Amino acid sequence: MQNRSLWFWLFLTPVILGLGIVVVIPFVYGFIFSFTNWNGLVATEFLGFQNYINLFQEDEFMNSIVFTVQFAVVTVILLNIFGLGLALIVTRNIKTNNLLRTVFFMPNLIGGLILGFIWQFIFVSVFGDIGNMFGIEGMQGWLSTTNTGFWGLVILTAWQMAGYIMIIYIAYLENIPKDLIEAAKIDGANGLQRFKNVTFPLVAPAFTVSMFLTLSMAFKIYDQNLSLTNGGPFNSTQMVAMEIVRTAFSDNQMAYAQSKAVIFFLIVAVIALTQVYYNKKREVEM
């Protein structure tokens, strides 16, 4: 008993130390700094909640929150549809199953920054040229308006992350006992009914996992945002993470940015926890 608990703590130490040093301590520090006028070098004044009061009156920050929420809603829906769709395709008995899985997963292996630049080229040059050639107005001038910037980001994220979500769904789909599907088949359920009443409820746990992943990812997105639109035009496609970085490093208001980050943290935490709570309740026990 004594030995076990010694080993237990010994093995845990590196993780606790690591987590403490790089996550917990900076977090506490940051929280404290958010109440001051810290500029990255010195904090001379304790401001109380002044930073927090200011940030709710700042249009730019509020706009970035609205934009991020819109983005999160759309991407979470699209990603789960695409992820599940792809998973259903590759769990059928097609010969190229493994090849397809690799291909669908591939975008996820490319870094977000590079993807952003690749898609920037596609949206601006390739789309522009195709639009010119066939006279399609809607394909010209991508990323030069707020709307096209928004959909550009959505397309990029969906393309990048769908393969990852697919993997999660595959794992659950392959775990569905064949006899359940067979029984449904014998009872005369058609394909759609089998999907709706058997498959779908049984992959519900996968929704919990992947909705949590996609939601928190959609909120925290930064590199794709930076390389694809860089917030432009006129900072209207700027997401919260980017707005915070800008406040900290180009406006030089470290403490103010820190208070925005605290608010951001609270929003993400609340959304994520609520969503996990509700999805857990709905899951079907196997």
Partner 1 sequence: MKGKTFYSSIGTVLLASSIALTGCSFSSGENETSGDGDNESSGGGDKVTVDVFQFKVEFKDQFEELVSMYEEENPDVEINVKTVGGGNDYGASLKSSMSSGEEPDIFNIGGPTDVDEYEKYLADVSDTEAADAALDGTLSSVTRNDETLGLPFNQEGYGLLYNKQVFEDAGINADDIETHEDLEEAVQTLDNQKEELGIEAPFAFPAKEKWVMGNHLANTFLADEFNHDVMETYESDTVQFEMGDQMKRFLDLQNEYSIQPTLNLDYSQQVEEHFSLGNVAMIQQGNWVYNTIESMDPEFAEENVGLLPIPVEGYEGTIPVGVPNYWVVNKQSEDEVVEASKNFLDWMYTSETGKQFVTDEFKFVPAYEGYEDLEIADPISQEIYNYASEGNTQGWVFLGAPTAWTEDALGVAMQEYIAGDITWDEVEEKATSAWEESRQ
Interface with partner 1 by CB under 8 A: which residues?
Answer: 1-2, 5-6, 8-10, 13-14, 17, 39-41, 123-124, 140-145, 230, 232-235, 246, 248-252
- Min dist. Cβ of residue 218 to partner 1 (A): 23
Site of tokens 């860089």: 230
Distance CA 40, CA 258 (A): 11
Nearer to partner 1, 87 or 241 (CB): 241
Closer Cβ to partner 1, 215 or 248, answer by number? 248
Smaller CB separation from partner 1, 8 or 49: 8
- The answer to whether residues 34 and 255 touch, using CB atoms and an 8 Å cutoff, is yes
Q: Are 52 and 266 in contact (CB under 8 A)?
A: no
Shortest gap between Cβ of 253 and partner 1 (angstroms)?
Answer: 8
List all residues 6 or more positions away from 26 whose beta carbon is below 8 Å from its beta carbon.
none
Which of 117, 195 has the CB closer to partner 1? 117
> Least distance to partner 1 from the beta carbon of 148, Å?
9
Residue 129 to residue 132: CA distance in whole angstroms: 5
Beta carbon of residue 11, minimum distance to partner 1 (angstroms, whole number): 9
Q: Which string of DSSP letters, residue by residue, matches 158-215?
A: HHHHHHHHHHHHHHHHHHS-HHHHHHHHHTT--HHHHIIIIIHHHTHHHHHHHHHHHH
Q: Which residues pair with 36 in a beta bridge?
A: 46
Min. distance of Cβ 126 from partner 1 in angstroms? 13
Q: Which is nearer to partner 1, 93 or 250 (CB)?
A: 250
